[in-house]
A and B are shown apart, each in its own frame.
Chain A
Amino acid sequence: DQQVKQNSPSLSVQEGRISILNCDYTNSMFDYFLWYKKYPAEGPTFLISISSIKDKNEDGRFTVFLNKSAKHLSLHIVPSQPGDSAVYFCAASEVDQFYFGTGTSLTVIP
């Protein structure tokens, strides 16, 4: 039972354009959401997070949007850079349980 879903396995974007990665969840009790980035042969690294009481959080080129009514989370990267090419995982937590999506592989084309 996948409670956090990333329906797009891959995404290609031109350098300088916006990358939008999407994530859907089913559990309305999730109260904290995160995005992690993963390069090959490395573990995931934390990127940005958002509490369920907010609808937007911004950190430099990265912005996360939360639509609780739609149970939808998105990560915007503007402008996209070749170094952003990686697998992006969204994650959600409920108390002491952590759920990750299957990841979206982003390729930024120079």
Chain B
Amino acid sequence: DSGVTQTPKHLITATGQRVTLRCSPRSGDLSVYWYQQSLDQGLQFLIQYYNGEERAKGNILERFSAQQFPDLHSELNLSSLELGDSALYFCASSVSGGARETQYFGPGTRLLVL
């Protein structure tokens, strides 16, 4: 158990809809990362937050947005969903968000868009 929790575990929705994925980092970790893993793809880095502020942005679509709240939990919002958004979404956390810090991953949320 990494100490990172993600809810829900599974999510089934329809094209055009909007969903919110939630992540609680390990106790004491200030930085949160979001990744997307599509079928036969590696993990694609989406975005990183540190202590409530966006720190780095990767391959995140404009239809996706995220935020980190004062209690340090984070939410990833996916809107105007398309079939291709079906994937496993991982959240990870680290102590202070340095590029060389170990990231601790949650179990993921599996999203299926029908």
Contacts and interface: CB of A to CB of B under 8 A. Distances in A.
B92 A43 contact: yes
A96 B99 contact: yes
Interface residues of A, number: 26
B74 interface: no
Contacts of A42: 107
A95 B99 contact: yes
A102 interface: yes
A45 B105 contact: yes
Interface residues of B, number: 25
- The SS class assigned to the A binding surface is strand
A32 B100 contact: yes
A36 B92 CA distance: 13
Nearest to A31: B99
Interface of A: 2, 4, 6, 32, 36, 41-46, 49, 51, 89, 91, 93-103
Q: Which of A6, A45, A96 has the most chain B CB within a 10 Å cutoff?
A: A96
A73 to B, nearest CB: 14
Contact of A98 (B2, B33, B41): B33
Interface stretch (B12-20, B42-50, B64-72, B79-87): B42-50
A91 B42 CA distance: 9
